[in-house]
Amino acid sequence: MHVICDNYATHKHPTIQTWLGKHPRFHMHFAPTYSSWINQVERLFAEVTRELLQRSDHRSVQALEKDLRNWVKAWNENPQPFVWTKTAEEILSSIARYLQRINGAGH
């Protein structure tokens, strides 16, 4: 099992490292600090969820795996880049509003 994580220090804590040592099936991959490529990975998983997994009914792991493989095959036959719909200014403004809200009274 390959797990992609942000570079947050908790993943490197001795307790986590001990657990991982006892479970060699798990392989941790850490995104570089300040990397944005992980957003693309998250976006791809969101697309799979929206197009394939939401409101689906897979009666077995084999049925799920078959549908996932078919989805990936179809996706790769006509790949389209993700297009960001907000400008940098809109994103920064949204973050500023969020920070104002969580740093305001009552938090």
User: Rounded to whole angstroms, how far apart are CA atoms 71 and 11?
Assistant: 31
pLDDT of residue 61: 93
pLDDT of residue 77: 95
Per-position pLDDT tens, the chain of length 107? 888 777 666 667 888 889 889 999 998 887 766 666 667 778 888 889 999 999 888 899 999 999 999 999 999 999 888 777 888 888 888 888 888 888 876 65
pLDDT of residue 96: 87
CA dihedral 46, 52, 56, 62 (to 10 degrees): -110
Supply the DSSP string of 19-39, one letter for each residue: HHHH-TT-EEEEPPTT-SHHH
